[in-house]
């Protein structure tokens, strides 16, 4: 039986909060310069919806903009995020590298994220996560933008029969349940208590994931 652990990226492995504000400010600076936005950058609103598919992000942040404007804004944002990553402005959460190293000895590890492919690849390359991760899967692969379908795709592609989904938001917890996997919620920057309450397990420290998996064979 193939046992695997599927990780979310933003707010789970990677401290997106460190690059979110400057990247979003850079994006809205361009929008303001083009006369397409006035007022403050809606950073808090984005924090509230962190983890939703990108089309939903831009429909929420800029509801009066056209679909074409949403696409352009997202392209600007992705470029700004990648620039921040390559400049070393982001960081993995404490304990991520050591825990992934331990887990990778006996489990297949994957990333399934609502982030776009180029963005995820920038993080993987910056922190050399290919040392531990067997595959990285972006929501770009799923036309519906549904996280549960993405996790199902990862399962089918890798013949996964049992394992865990580790993440900080309801979409991760639901993806585990819909795919008959065990959910581990992480109480980090973007987590919501009402969503974590639905997880099978919850940790406050990434280092706690290894002993949890070790003691709960699935």
Per residue in 3-13, pLDDT tens? 899 999 999 99
Separate counts of helices (H) and strands (E) for the chain: 10, 6
Same domain for 52 and 107? no
Rounded to whole angstroms, the Cα distance separating 125 from 118 reads: 10
Domain boundary among 62, 86, 110: 86
Same domain for 152 and 138? yes
Same domain for 192 and 128? yes
Residues 6+ apart with CB under 8 A from 167: 7, 8, 11, 12, 51, 173, 175, 183, 184, 185, 186
Same domain for 135 and 193? yes
Rounded to whole angstroms, the Cα distance separating 21 from 43 reads: 7
Same domain for 60 and 124? no
- Note down the domain range covering 181: 3-15+91-215
Same domain for 81 and 179? no
- pTM for the structure as a whole: 0.93
User: pLDDT by residue (tens digit) across 24-49?
Assistant: 999 999 999 999 999 999 999 988 88
């Amino acid at each position: 039986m193939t046992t695997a652990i599927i990780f979310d990226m933003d707010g789970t492995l990677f401290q997106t909060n460190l690059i979110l504000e400057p990247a979003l400010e850079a994006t809205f600076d361009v929008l303001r310069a083009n006369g397409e936005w006035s007022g403050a950058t809606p950073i808090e609103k984005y924090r509230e919806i962190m983890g939703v598919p990108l089309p939903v992000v831009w429909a929420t942040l800029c509801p009066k903009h056209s679909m074409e404007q949403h696409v352009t804004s997202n392209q600007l944002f992705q470029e700004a995020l990648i620039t921040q990553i390559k400049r070393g402005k982001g960081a993995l959460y404490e304990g991520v590298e050591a825990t992934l190293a331990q887990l990778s000895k006996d489990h297949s590890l994957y990333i399934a994220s609502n982030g776009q492919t180029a963005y995820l690849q920038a993080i993987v390359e910056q922190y050399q996560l290919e040392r531990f991760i067997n595959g990285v899967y972006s929501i770009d692969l799923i036309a519906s933008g549904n996280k549960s379908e993405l996790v199902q795709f990862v399962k089918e592609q890798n013949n996964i029969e049992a394992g865990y989904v580790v993440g900080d938001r309801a979409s991760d917890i639901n993806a585990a349940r819909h795919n008959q996997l065990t959910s581990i919620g992480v109480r980090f920057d973007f987590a919501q208590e009402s969503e974590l309450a639905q997880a099978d397990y919850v940790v406050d420290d990434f280092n706690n994931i290894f002993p949890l998996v070790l003691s709960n064979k699935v």
